[in-house]
Chain A
Amino acid sequence: MNSVSAHTGKSVSERLRGVNNEFKLTSDVHDQPLKIENLNVYIENLHILKDINLSIPEKSITCIIGPSGCGKTTLLKTLNRMHDETPEVKITGRVMVDGENIYDKNVNVNDTRRKMGLLAQRPCPLPMSIFDNVAYGPRIHGIKRRKLINQTVIQYLQYVGLWDEVRGRVRTSATKLSIGQQQRLCLARGLAIEPEYILGDEATSALDPLSTKKIEDLFLKLKEKYTVILVTHTLRQARRIADYIVFMYLGEVIEAGPTEQFFNFPSKQITKEYLSGSFS
């Protein structure tokens, strides 16, 4: 192990050179349904993500942390191919979901996105009623039966704890809800497409503490059924809810591991500095 110091003036990649930076969060790596292999992302010739290798354990919460601009959100967006919308982005490497590389030519992007429920930074309800917001996903994915749609909507509104609050006004506009309620509605909307993974992009950063608590509790509940991957800016949140932590810095994964181990025994100098608050 070469000694790593933040004060050598060398770039992170130089400092990490020679270190095998393939990160497996748990030992049983063979049946990880989500694997990122040699992933590189370039945006307008800037090398944003550098050779990422990660296996994400299923049915758990993995938090991606790191200072601003380190590529957390870029990494998250590669998982549901949202980079397809920006032609300047070039991606190499593989993202294996259920044994299939989602960047393969014959993979339907809409199917991939359907597997990944995304919860964005700020809630963005669709311009329709509360009911139709949740029903939208099932409808576009071919569910026609009214009864089934009704059931689905009620089920997921109950799941996110919104049903009691909005019952009786589900036909009114979703924009009338408070921002915390909107975020839970967006979560219900994402769950209604029956994804396998939940991606959260700083999903609580626009919310008040009480709403944040509700969303965090939901994430803890969700990990029983789904694999949850969250980008977060707050270390405390990661500590509260994550099972595994991925620490990124300047487009590279510096360290990854179970939460307890990561916070108590960080192995890299730069991680220690980040945790101690030397930079953020």
Chain B
Amino acid sequence: MKYLEERIFKLIMITAALIVLGVLLFILGTIFYKGLPSLNIDMITKLPGGGFYLGKEGGVLNAIVGSFYIILGSVLISLLISVPLVMYINFYLPKKSKFSELIRFSMDILFGVPSIVYGAFGFALMVYLGMKASLLGGIIAVSMLIMPVMMRSLDEVTILLSRELPDALLSLGATRYEMIKVILRQLMPGLITSILLATGRGIGDAATVLFTAGYTDNIPVSPSQPAASLPLSIFFQLGSPVEEVQNRGYASAIILTVIVLILSLTSRYISSRYSKNKI
């Protein structure tokens, strides 16, 4: 009987693993099957030419660069907010502080807010401030979207940190700030994972940037200009009635997937380099 349970449970686990793997392969298979024939060097080196969305020449460089700007800006902003916040609630406030509970609770709520709401909120804010759809607007809206992800995942790894390291540092006469600098080294892999999670959520999101960053066929040269993004580019191409353009949409999806993959691999590499002294 015991062994039967063991077998059934093993079967369930293997099935679950296969489903996850299967879905991933199915998605990758679809975009590669449809997009690969249209993928060429022009796609990543050229801006969309006139009539690009009707099947004429060009590429999606505008969207690649736009997405890159948006995610870089918003990751920076979220880092500047999340890291001090997490350090504050974990190392400055007392363990059972009501305030830190409140912050965690609000972050959990913000985490669950759909991205279109951030988009709409960002848009309302911009209207109020008299801003037009711009790179800066997109960066702010995406920051709001990814900040809870980054903050909560960094918080989770910080909570798991044992009390021994902070105590060892403090007993050497280190100040809180000096202590936090060392703790951040220890937390580096966790920090990188949280950046990665946030990037993954931010770079693929279309709804947030729809109203805030706008869309353009050019590369923005200042934060007040609108910026294109890959998810919107894919959306517009797939919405085209021309089959060739639709296939280019799949090719753009490959580009987005590969970018995420590259980011993931580099961050893992960086993380392993930084954590060679990790305890």
- Among A114, A128, A175, point to the contact of B173 (Cβ < 8 A): A114
* Interfacial chain B residues near A174, Cβ < 8 Å: 277, 279
- Nearest B-chain residue to A115, judged by Cβ: B173
- Residue in contact with A113 in the complex, picked from B94, B166, B173, B276, CB distance below 8 Å: B173
Select one of B94, B170, B182, B276 contacting A126, CB under 8 A.
B182
A26 to B142, CA, bound (A): 69
B166: nearest chain-A partner, CB-CB: A85
In the complex, per-residue mask of A98-129: 1 if CB is within 8 Å of any chain B CB, else 0: 00000000000011011011101010111111
Q: A128-B185, A140-B178, A173-B276 are in contact. Are A80 and B169 (CB under 8 A)?
A: no
Interface pair A87/B164, CB less than 8 Å apart: no
Contact B168 A173, beta carbon cutoff 8 Å: no
In the complex, per-residue mask of A140-159: 1 if CB is within 8 Å of any chain B CB, else 0:
11000000000000000000
Residues of B within 8 A of A263 (CB): none
Say whether A82 contacts B277, CB under 8 Å. no
B-side contacts of A86, CB under 8 Å: 94-95
**B278 within 8 Å of A (CB atoms):** yes
CB contacts (< 8 Å) of A113 on chain B: these are 170-173
Residue of A nearest to B173 (CB): A114
**B-side interface size class:** 20 to 34
Docked CA distance A117–B169 (Å): 11
Q: Which residue of A lies closest to B182 (CB)?
A: A126
In whole angstroms, what is the CA distance A25 to B104 when docked? 51
What CA separation (Å) do A173 and B178 show in the bound complex? 20
By a CB distance below 8 angstroms, the chain B residues around A124 are 164-165, 167-168, 279
Give the distance in Å from the alpha carbon of A140 to the alpha carbon of B170 in the complex.
11
In the complex the two chains form, is A120's CB within 8 Å of B277's CB?
A: no
User: Which residues of B have CB within 8 Å of A87?
Assistant: 94
- Contact check, A110 vs B168: say whether CB atoms are below 8 A apart: no
Tell yes or no: B222 within 8 A of A by CB. Answer: no
Q: B182 → chain A, closest Cβ, in Å?
A: 6
Q: Which of A46-54, A185-193, A213-221, A270-278 contacts B (4 or more CB under 8 A)?
A: A185-193
Q: Which B105-161 residues have a C-beta within 8 angstroms of A?
A: none
User: Is B186 interfacial (CB 8 A cutoff)?
Assistant: yes
Interface centre among B165, B168, B182, B275 (most CB of A within 10 A): B168
A127-B277, A140-B178, A175-B277 known; A122-B173 Cβ under 8 A: no
Min CB distance A113 to B, Å, is 4
A137 contacts B by Cβ under 8 Å: yes
Q: Which residues of B contact A117 (CB under 8 A)?
A: 171
Is there an interface contact between A173 and B173, defined as CB atoms closer than 8 Å? Answer: no
Q: List the A side residues contacting B16 at CB < 8 Å.
A: none
User: In the complex, A178→B165 CA distance in Å?
Assistant: 18
Q: Quick one: which of A82, A114, A137, A140 has the most chain B CB within 10 A?
A: A140
Asked if A80 and B171 make an inter-chain contact with CB atoms under 8 angstroms apart, the answer reads yes
The contact of A82 among B167, B178, B278, by CB within 8 Å, is B167
Name the contact of A127 in the complex, choosing from B170, B174, B185 (C-beta under 8 A).
B185
A111→B173 contact, CB < 8 A: yes
**Is there a chain B Cβ closer than 8 Å to A23's Cβ?**
no
A111: chain B residues at CB < 8 Å are 173
Given A124-B165, A126-B165, A126-B168, does the pair A110, B173 have CB atoms closer than 8 Å?
A: yes
10 contacts across the A-B interface (CB closer than 8 A): A85-B167, A85-B170, A86-B95, A113-B172, A116-B171, A120-B171, A126-B182, A127-B165, A127-B275, A174-B279
Given contacts A113-B172, A120-B168, A127-B182, 9 further A-B contacts (CB under 8 A): A110-B173, A113-B171, A114-B172, A124-B165, A127-B279, A129-B277, A137-B172, A140-B173, A173-B276
Question: Which 3 residue pairs across A and B have the least CB separation, nearest first?
Answer: A114-B173, A118-B171, A124-B164
